[in-house]
Amino acid sequence: MASESAAARHIDPSLGTLEGEGSQQRGIGPEEHMQDLSPHAWSKVPTVSEEHPTYFDRPVLKEVVWTWDIPMYYYLGGAAGASLTLGAAAQLRSSRDLDQFVRHCHWIGIIASTVGAGFLIHDLGRPSRFLNMMRVFRPTSPMNLGSWVLALAAPSAITAGLWARRGGPLGFISETAGYASGAVGLVLSTYTGVLVSNTAIPLYSESRRVMPILFGASALASAASLLDLVNEGGPGCAITRVAGTAGRISELIAGKVLEQHVDEVERVGRPLHTGVGGALWTASKLLTAASLAVSFWPGKMRGKRKWAAALTTAGSLALRFAVHYAGKASARDPHATFDLQRAKRQSSVR
């Protein structure tokens, strides 16, 4: 198969080895190539709308080829980053009553960032492609910066947890690593929102000012819910209660603002109201609102904190998958691209 593909692409296998992302592409010979270029008669002339014309209703942009691994990475990376940031904030108190809470923050950061990296590498195909992104350091590239942040998250958290609350040089190293992991976690919890919206896909490009805030708020709510699931009590519960409430409310507000931005052009915001993306988007709002209602329910209902955490986790996952599938639908819709361009042109003329 490799030799046939090489021959079709005029590659001499003796001079090099076929490998890399495009090595398995099937090459075609000149006869088949010319056959594809030969004109074909239309059985039916495509109709073009006079009010909103497109290029024969053909998609202008290619949809992303990411699989479900990427939304899972969004969730796990965000939860890991926010958890490490909460752990660093808790370290500011010299009291020992938050030691267990800080350890839980570090372990959630370690596990979630490691598993999230596994999902990312699985989508890339092989580990070497992840390592290739670290051959350079480019802060202006969200993908390159995110690769470095992801690579630093788990080691810094492990270093912070090894010698936590000890005296001497080891204690100083652990304390410093804890604050470093918090700084890394702050970027990790929000950079995926920048990465998603740094594109020409209409839904993503029009939400670029709100998407990082939405992802950061959802990451805070996700981290607090995971901490509520592992914490049985103690002073750390007060932190997760405040952080979780702030994250849920901020997520609902940011989601509403994002809808207002993309709905300015009807076809741009349509994927958030129809199809798989729309159903998941609605589910995420309902689940997050339900978690808020459960957390504020009067009385000491048994397992109230756990139920609220489970609903928040489901809502955060639904949010990431909604953004993923809605973006695919937006790229497939040629009217979204053309209508957005016309709207921007009209606004610039005014």
DSSP letter (8 states) at residue 47: P
Chain centroid, CA 109 distance in Å: 16
Among residues 176, 179, 283, 224, the alpha carbon closest in space to that of 78 is found at 224
Looking at the fold, whether 176 and 253 belong to one and the same domain comes out as no
Flag whether the pTM goes above 0.95. no
Looking at the fold, whether 261 and 281 belong to one and the same domain comes out as yes
Among residues 280, 309, 278, the alpha carbon closest in space to that of 292 is found at 309
Ramachandran area for residue 299 (φ above 0: left; ψ -120 to 50: alpha; else beta): left
Q: What's the Cα-to-Cα distance from 26 to each of 4, 7, 35, rounded to whole Å?
A: 8, 10, 16
- One digit per residue, the tens of pLDDT, for the chain of length 350 reads 555 555 555 566 666 666 655 555 555 555 554 454 455 666 665 565 666 777 777 788 888 888 899 999 999 999 999 999 998 888 887 667 788 888 888 889 989 999 998 898 888 887 787 888 888 888 888 888 888 888 888 888 888 877 666 667 777 887 888 888 889 989 999 999 998 988 889 999 999 999 999 999 999 999 999 998 887 677 788 889 999 999 999 999 999 999 999 999 899 999 999 999 999 999 999 999 999 999 888 766 667 888 999 999 999 999 999 999 999 999 998 888 888 888 877 776 55
Q: What residue type is 32 in one-letter code?
A: E
The answer to whether position 51 is within a domain reads: no
The answer to whether position 284 is within a domain reads: yes
CA–CA separation, 127 and 115 (whole Å): 14
CA atoms within 13 A on the CB side of 31: 0
Q: What six digits make up the tokens of 95?
A: 């009291």
Number of domains in the chain: 2
DSSP letter (8 states) at residue 145: H
**pLDDT score for 129:** 78
Looking at the fold, whether 183 and 232 belong to one and the same domain comes out as no
The answer to whether position 27 is within a domain reads: no
Which residue segment(s) compose the domain that 310 sits in?
201-210+228-337
Looking at the fold, whether 182 and 302 belong to one and the same domain comes out as no
Looking at the fold, whether 283 and 315 belong to one and the same domain comes out as yes
The answer to whether position 101 is within a domain reads: yes
The answer to whether position 161 is within a domain reads: yes
Point out the domain boundary residue: 189, 219, 237: 189
Looking at the fold, whether 184 and 247 belong to one and the same domain comes out as no
Rounded to 5 degrees, φ, ψ at 116 are -60, -40
